[in-house]
Structure 1
Amino acid sequence: MQTLMEIAEDLKLFGDKTRLAMLSLLKEREWCVCEFVDIFDISQPAISQHLRKLKSRGIVRESKRGQWVHYSLNVEDKPHLKAVLQQMPSSKSILAELNKEAKEPCCD
C-alpha cells in the first residue's frame, strides 16, 4: 500500500492538463512520443519531459522499438489513479477537443 505522500505525488502529476490528457489517451492503447508531439503541438523534448515525470513515478512504462519509444499505462497497483482515469473522457472525445483526428498507430 502506498503512503499518503506517494499518493499525493502521483495526484500532483495529474494536475497538469497535458499529462492528464496523455494518461487518458493511454487508457485505450500505447502511444509513441511522435504521436503525442503531433496531438499536443508541443516539442518532442517537452513531451519527453512529461513522460519522464510519469515514468519516474511508475505511472507509465516505456518500450523501445527501433528508434521509437512507446508508452503504456501502468496503474494496476494504483487504485487512486485508476479511479480518476475511469472518469476521464474517451480518446475520441479528447482528440475532438484538441481538434485532432484519430489515426492508426504510427512508428511500428
Structure 2
Amino acid sequence: MEKTANVLKLLGDKTRLTMMKLLQVNECCVCEFVEIFKISQPAVSQHVRKLRDGGLVRETRKGQWIHYSINTESEHYEFVQSLLNDLPSQEKYLEDLEAQGLRIICE
C-alpha cells in the first residue's frame, strides 16, 4: 500500500501526470518539457527527478543530452500504464513543438 500511495502522490501533480502521459508513447528531453510547460529548466528537472527517483522513468544519455522514457521494468509499470490508458492524449503538445521546429531541439 505504501509504494502505491507514493506512486499516486507522484502522479497527483498535473505536470508530472502530463509528463508521464507524453512519455507513454514518446521519449522526451528536459528542453522539450520546458517548452511544453513554459516553466524553468530547474523546475522541469525537479519534476523529472521525482519521477526518476520513484522508479517511474528512466534516462538515456545521447551525447550531452538526457532523454527520458517510461521505465518498463518498474514494479509499478502495469499499474501506471492502466492509469495512463484512461487519460486523454497529450500528443498535441508534441505536435505543436514539431510545428514550431522545436521537437528534440537538443540533438
Is TM (by shorter chain) over 0.5? yes
Q: How does 1:56-71 map to 2 (within 5 A)?
A: 56-71=53-68
Cα offset, 1:69, TM superposition: 1.1
In 1, distance between residues paired with 2:18 and 2:91? Answer: 11
Percent identity, aligned pairs only? 49
In 1, distance between residues paired with 2:79 and 2:38? Answer: 29
Q: CA contact under 8 A between 2:36 and 2:97: conserved in structure 1?
A: no
Q: Deviations over 1:54-96 (max 9, x none)?
A: 0001100011112211100114532221111111111335x29
One-letter identity of the residue aligned with 1:41:
K
CA RMSD of aligned residues (A): 1.8
Query: Once structures 1 and 2 are overlaid, which stretch shifts more, 76-85 or 50-59?
Result: 76-85
Matched, 1:16 2:13: yes
In structure 1, runs of 5+ residues without a counterpart are none
Q: TM-score normalised to the size of structure 2?
A: 0.85
In 2, distance between residues paired with 1:58 and 1:21? Answer: 17
* Residue in 2 that maps onto 1:29: 26
Q: TM-score normalised to the size of structure 1?
A: 0.84
One-letter identity of the residue aligned with 2:85:
Q
